[in-house]
Amino acid sequence: MNPYELSIAQARTELDNGTLSSRDLTRSCLDRIKSVDGRIQSFLLVTEEEALQQAESADKQIAAGNVAALCGIPLAMKDLLCTEGVTTSCGSKILENFVPPYDATVIEKLKNQGAVLLGKTSMDEFAMGSTSENCAFAVPDNPWKAGYVAGGSSGGSASAVAAMECLGSLGSDTGGSIRQPASLCGIVGIKPTYGRVSRYGLVAFASSLDQIGPMSRDVTDAAIMMNAISGYDPRDSTSVQQSVPDFTASLKKGMEGIRVGIPAEYFTAGLDSEVAGVVENGVQILKDAGAEIVDIRLPHTEYCVAVYYLIAPAEASSNLARYDGVAYGMRSEDASSLENMYRESRSAGFGDEVKRRILIGTYALSSGYYDAYYKKASQVRTLILQDFQKAYESCDVIISPVTPTPSWKKGAHSGDPLSLYLSDILTISANLAGIPGISVPGGFSKDGLPVGIQLQAAHFREDTLLQAAYNLELGTGLANKCPEL
């Protein structure tokens, strides 16, 4: 077995036993990137020199007795997490040469553990998209089938893990941007409860929805990474002072006493029959493990897409107003006036999808329309949250598909953005409600494309979520299954 094929847990054992060094493990991952990333295009930037230095430092720490779970482990970062001294572009021309002067809290936590950071991964520009095709620099490929999308917006982070270019990665999830690409690439991806993981240093898309989370080859590795990045941060006003359990302790075999809810609204017209079959098999796996299966209702599901695509663009319009060519980022060199500089810089710096969402959001927030659109959407968002609160009175975990279909060909929806918006219907509700969700590999389509299963739990019940995910993984037998490249 090549070192890059190891899971985080397996690598931890070998590093601690002295049978593998972090430098050799890191070198193996870097060589893997050189070998396959020409096709996959997971990375926008590989920090080879810095990674090898971090690996040598980790080896010294391990020799001195550092037993931190991620010490010496090579990981990849989505390119909207600020990294001191390393370009953070958000997949956008407007930030093409932006080098942050500080680390995001999650990056700081990983460095404090002694993790090795391999580089920054491709993504939809400012995390706006479902395929990563909106990236200004490189569009990641699905490792399972050439020419198919890796998902978005954390497509590069997902494809890097699936292609075994790293042992794990961090993504961000605003409307499914961790869970959806995890499903399409056949890996595990978890969106924690809003407030569980600090957003300080995450370049904002929609501040009331964004959440950082791990992407990994199995549930155990996801739990290990959750331990490392969770916790209160006074620098993030939305961070919650909630105790952080040892998530790896939740990985127990058996589901006795746990109720699994099936929402009727998630199994409707438009759901691919192969996807439905994979989820039905997942339900049976959890039932066989001892879970009680119950039917639940989430009656406001039909409004989720409309609510999301008012709230998220409105917040994006506000957050992206700062990119004006003055303080940092791209500035038009041909501007004849200050107003002209704003216009030219933003017109050239932003891609079409980002411009589209800024326009939608600005309109929704404008005088005379605020009450009709943003305010009403916020009120319906409360009803969606109440749906989940009521559902969790009768169940502990909700099971559903992640996406209505497996992956699709690149460019298939290039002229129809609305169809992509509608494909998010099964994931965005978790962001609107602020609850945790996870995608676990469930099976494959007849074309050999991965299909994930989504589990969701009540606020700050990642422990229950991970227990259910672990049992689902045991039943499918798909942990650490990666494509041949």
Catalytic residue ranges:
78, 153, 177
A 10 A CB-CB count for 483 gives 17
421-424 long-range CB contacts below 8 Å, 24 or more apart?
A: 421/305, 421/309, 422/305, 423/130, 424/130, 424/175, 424/176, 424/180, 424/305, 424/308
Tell which residue, 69, 105, 70, has the closest CA to residue 84. Answer: 105
Count of all residues that appear for the chain in the document: 485
CB 167 within 8 A of CB 75: yes
Helix (H, G, I), strand (E, B) or coil at 3: helix
One DSSP character per residue, 364-390 reads HHSTTTTIIIIIHHHHHHHHHHHHHHH
- Sheet of strand 168-172: strand arrangement: 43-46, 116-121, 74-78, 168-172, 212-216, 188-191, 437-444, 450-457, 397-401, 259-263, 292-296
Helix (H, G, I), strand (E, B) or coil at 16: helix
Q: What sections of 289-427 are H helices per DSSP? A: 304-319, 338-349, 352-365, 376-391, 417-422
| Tokens at 250, concatenated | 């939740």
Q: What does the alpha-carbon distance between residue 68 and residue 55 come to, in Å, rounded to a whole number?
A: 14
Q: What does the alpha-carbon distance between residue 44 and residue 441 come to, in Å, rounded to a whole number?
A: 26
How remote is the C-alpha of 349 from its chain's centroid?
24
Q: Which residues are bridge partners to 116 per DSSP?
A: 74
Question: Strand 437-444 and strand 188-191: pairing?
Answer: antiparallel
CA count, 13 A, side-chain hemisphere, 380: 22
Tell which residue, 107, 102, 105, has the closest CA to residue 120. Answer: 107
| Tokens at 332, concatenated | 């038009």
Handedness of CA 59, 9, 443, 134 (dihedral sign): negative
Tell which residue, 78, 39, 319, 92, has the closest CA to residue 178. Answer: 78
Q: What does the alpha-carbon distance between residue 436 and residue 392 come to, in Å, rounded to a whole number?
A: 13
